[in-house]
Amino acid sequence: MGAEQIRRWESGALAHAVSDPFGQGPLPWLRGSENYFDDTGQVVPWYADLARSTGGGTRTADDVHRQIKGFVSPGAAAPGEAIDFHITVDPPQQFSVDVYRIGHYGGDGAAKITTSPRLSGIVQPPPLAADRTVSCHHWWMSWRLQIPSYWSVGAYVAVLTTADGYRSHIPFTVRHDHPADLLLLLPDITWQAYNLYPEDGRTGASLYHAWDERGRLLGEEDAAVTISFDRPYAGSGLPLHVGHAYDFIRWAERYGYDLAYADARDLHAGRVDPSRYRGLVFPGHDEYWSLPMRRAAERARDSGTSLVFLSANTMYWQVGLAPSASGEPDRLLTCRKRRGPGKSALWREVDRPEQQLLGIQYAGRVPDPRPMVVRNAEHWLWDATGAVEGDEIPGLVAGEADRYFPRTSLPEHDNRILLAHSPYEDSEGATRHQETSLYQAPSGALVFASGTFAWSPALDRPGHTDPRIQRATANLLDRICKRD
């Protein structure tokens, strides 16, 4: 096992040190905070691991040394309910938990809501692994956060910091059953599918990767079939693709949209009622869907609730959720993909292609960002954007792309339109096309699918914002919310 491999695992490189802003690693979620200045006064992003030789600054914990790592159960809760934190600290020492809420907050991107008392950290037992399923369900509870009645619903991040300056993160959601214009659904099932914890070259496994006894990284054929929510996220503690959801949240809260929040497992379990909202917004990469999730989205559309899909490769794999060994519901995620008994887990291969809900479906990866080419520029979605037919919006086709499949049936609709038709080259040099779709169901519900990873980043990610996409998204949401 080479030293370079060890350094990659120690730094969380496989999970988080990825430069593609549309595809993999999360970008800084907090801006302008005193927590993110180094000893020289220079601003550094949260994921920067300051050189250990300097002897100062906050450093990112890793999955090999486990300086501080943790997870929560459940992942979402309402005011008046509790979130339990399970945290390991090595070496044992005191630590604290700062809780932030994601939002615009004058451009800071988040606001600190509370800080725990100083807590005593212990070294929890090593993760348990059985047939590639890694779980930390046997970790003792370290802290219980009782969510006050006055807390706002939203996406939250807990920042764990040890006395000697190591830091990790845990995301969670505060939901409420009060009606709102829009229900934002955080894709925690897809986040967990990509989670390689522990990224240690030995034990960790996701639905994509695992390691063999020689420390070689294996692909999907040898990856996990069942994974557990009872474990930290690899690397810094934030999921892959989490930045896509945060980009939308910052933009939407800046402009005052009335948002409720939940996660994908809430939709799966029926803890939220989609009929209470004018629209459901799926803001990030949302690849893994259970049958109850799909049924809930279809019922919502058919009863007049609009659906907004702001990424690509949505609802590609069908998954199942099961309780943990202790009986806590929806803590185990299973996706057999093309392995094992039974049918394929691709929705399109069990006669339920995703296009029948989305209007388009996954076409493939985009090796290099390409322009989005505007189509049907006279449509109201493009009003006041300045876009004209054939305009190219730089970099908006990126990461992964969807398109219309002519041989696949469409959902029942009163009208339907494609709003972008954009050429790009795939990894083999063949020309493909990305498309953006909008249709109106017989119920009156609108169903929008961006067909690209880069739509949400164009709303509020520094260096990637585009006023045409911001205006087009506002046109869509204003129509759904019936704003003047």
In CATH, what number is assigned to the domain containing residue 11? 2.60.40.1930
Q: What sign results for the dihedral spanned by CA atoms 193, 198, 201, 202?
A: negative
Residue 55: predicted pLDDT: 44
156 within some domain: yes
What's the pLDDT at 217?
A: 85
**Per-residue model confidence as pLDDT tens digits over 200-240:** 889 999 999 998 888 888 888 899 999 999 999 998 898 88
Average pLDDT over residues 430-450: 98
Q: Are residues 224 and 122 in the same domain?
A: yes
- By the 8 A CB rule, do 71 and 230 touch? yes
Asked if 109 and 217 sit in the same domain, the reply is: yes
Which residue in 467, 419, 473 sits closest to 248, CA to CA? 473
Check whether residue 209 and residue 280 sit in a common domain.
Answer: no
pLDDT recorded at residue 213:
85
Last residue of a domain, one of 163, 198, 228: 228
Choose between 242 and 21: higher pLDDT.
242
Predicted local confidence at residue 161, as pLDDT: 94
CA distance 72 to 76: 9
Please check whether residues 167 and 65 belong to one and the same domain: yes
Over residues 29-53, the pLDDT tens digits come to 555 443 444 444 444 443 333 333 3
Predicted confidence (pLDDT) per residue in 117-133, tens digit:
999 999 999 999 999 99
Residue 462's pLDDT is what? 83
Q: Which residues of 185-206 are buried (b: 16+ CB within 10 A; e: fewer)?
A: bbbbbbbbbbbbbbbbbebbbb
Match 């998204």 to its residue by tokens.
473
Examine the domain organization and report whether 195 and 67 are in the same domain: yes
Quote the percentage of the chain above a pLDDT of 70.
86
Please count the structural domains in the chain.
2
284 in the same domain as 219: no
Return the pLDDT at 2: 46
Residue 302 and residue 424 share a domain? yes
Q: Does residue 130 form part of some domain?
A: yes
Instruction: Please report the pLDDT score of residue 29 as a whole number.
Output: 53
Q: What pLDDT score was predicted for residue 35?
A: 40
Domain that holds residue 131: 3-228
Which tens digits make up the pLDDT trace of 151-169? 999 999 999 999 999 999 9
What CA–CA distances, in Å, run from 177 to 100, 215, 401? 22, 46, 34
Identify whether 193 is part of a domain: yes
Asked whether residue 150 falls in the same domain as residue 290, the answer is: no
Could you say which of 228, 246, 265 is where a domain stops? 228
In a domain, 415, yes or no: yes
Residues 224 and 277 in one domain: no
Q: Is 121 within a domain? A: yes
Question: Is residue 279 located within the same domain as residue 379?
Answer: yes
User: Same structural domain for residues 47 and 163?
Assistant: yes
Q: Within 348-451, where are the H helices? A: 355-358
Please indicate, yes or no, whether residues 277 and 224 belong to a single structural domain of this protein: no
Global pTM value: 0.92
Instruction: Report the alpha-carbon distance of residue 61 to residue 415 in Å, rounded.
Output: 51
Of 33-37, 62-66, 142-146, give the lowest mean pLDDT range: 33-37
Domain boundary among 193, 228, 263: 228
How do residues 71-125 score in pLDDT, each as one tens digit?
Answer: 999 999 999 999 999 999 999 999 999 999 999 998 888 899 999 999 999 999 9
What confidence score (pLDDT) does residue 354 get? 97
